[in-house]
Amino acid sequence: MRGTGTFITFEGIDGSGKSTQIKRLAEHLRTSGHEVVLTREPGGSPGAEEIRALVLQGDPDRWSAETEILLFTAARRDHLERTILPALAKGSIVLCDRFADSTRMYQGLSRGDLRGVVDKLHNLIITHEPDLTVLIDMDPAVGLSRALSRQTADERFEAFGEDLQRAMRQGFLDLAQEFKSRFRVVDGARDIDLVATDIARLVDSELG
Ligand code: ADP
Ligand code: TYD
């Protein structure tokens, strides 16, 4: 079903450095001779990129919390079918910027306690979990100032503010405890090169 590849996800609050670090890890692994597929959520396949625009742009209040969970899950299913599983079947390392843990946090926490709904839908429609999840942890004040300095169209979640980002940080740390065997927590409030070296080392050791 999964093939011989390795599925690695990056998680963390907005601005924690996921996109920066995932690119660095891709370069590192390619230099070591691995076939790497770099992808992201929401998105990562043509259909899922269309859904990304629906959830991250425009008036966020046009979706109820439950509809939003369905949209993120629909995007993930398409991404799995068309990008992730085919790449794993070929033996590639798939590096994905956010995955189901982001839904557990963002949709599970931010508009009431909907974690149960998120988990049920995940178990029904997605079923796959990553082999390894790198959580880039840092104080939200640092992440928020980095995120706000970027002027992108995806402002929907970055407008959350510091209190919610603080709850997210704790939520991600709790998830790392819940799924201990696949999570590795990295301190992201350091120089880019130091963080990249840590991540390369831990992924190399997991790949054996
Ligand atoms: P994310 O994908 O988690 O939202 P990014 O990788 O896009 O985070 O980083 C957010 C911003 O912070 C970018 O402008 C990036 O260049 C910068 N940045 C990333 N990592 C660091 C770091 N370790 N120190 C300082 N700035 C960083
Ligand atoms: P993006 O611009 O990619 O942000 P970041 O660089 O911080 O990852 O936007 C992704 C946003 O979508 C981010 O704020 C988190 C949110 N999101 C969810 O709410 N649920 C999800 O399942 C996923 C994958 C992302």
| Amino acid 170: pLDDT | 96
Pocket lining: 45 vs ligand 2, CB cutoff 6 Å: no
Q: What is the pLDDT along the chain (208 residues), one digit of tens a residue?
A: 467 899 999 999 988 999 999 999 999 999 999 999 999 999 999 999 999 999 999 998 999 999 999 999 999 999 999 999 999 999 999 999 999 999 999 999 888 899 999 999 999 999 999 999 999 999 998 877 776 776 564 554 556 777 888 999 999 999 999 999 999 999 999 999 999 999 999 999 999 8
What pLDDT, on a 0 to 100 scale, did the predictor assign at position 165? 86
The residue type of 20 is: T
Q: Is 10 in the pocket of ligand 2 (CB under 6 A)?
A: no
CA of 162 to the centre of ligand 2 (A): 16
CATH architecture, range 6-207 = 3-Layer(aba) Sandwich (3.40)
Predicted local confidence at residue 142, as pLDDT = 87
Residues 6+ apart with CB under 8 A from 169: 13, 137, 138, 139, 140
pTM (two decimals)? 0.95
Residues in the ligand 1 pocket, defined by CB under 6 Å: 12, 14-20, 146-147, 150, 191-192, 195
Strand order in the sheet with 132-137: 36-40, 93-97, 6-11, 132-137, 183-187
18-25: long-range pairs with CB below 8 Å, 24+: 18/97, 18/98, 18/136, 19/97, 20/192, 21/134, 21/136, 21/188, 21/192, 21/195, 21/196, 21/199, 22/95, 22/97, 24/192, 24/196, 24/199, 24/200, 25/95, 25/196, 25/199, 25/200, 25/203
pLDDT for position 154: 52
pLDDT value at position 110? 84
Q: What is the predicted pLDDT for the residue at 141?
A: 87
Does the Cβ of 102 fall within 6 Å of ligand 2?
yes
Judged by its nearest atom, the ligand closest to the C-alpha of residue 109 is: 2
Residue 109: phi and psi, rounded to 5, are: -115, -30
- Among protein residues, the one with the nearest Cα to ligand 1's atom 22 is 192
Residue of 16, 20, 137, 152 with the most ligand 1 atoms within 8 Å of its CB, for mutation = 20
Amino acid at residue number 177: Q
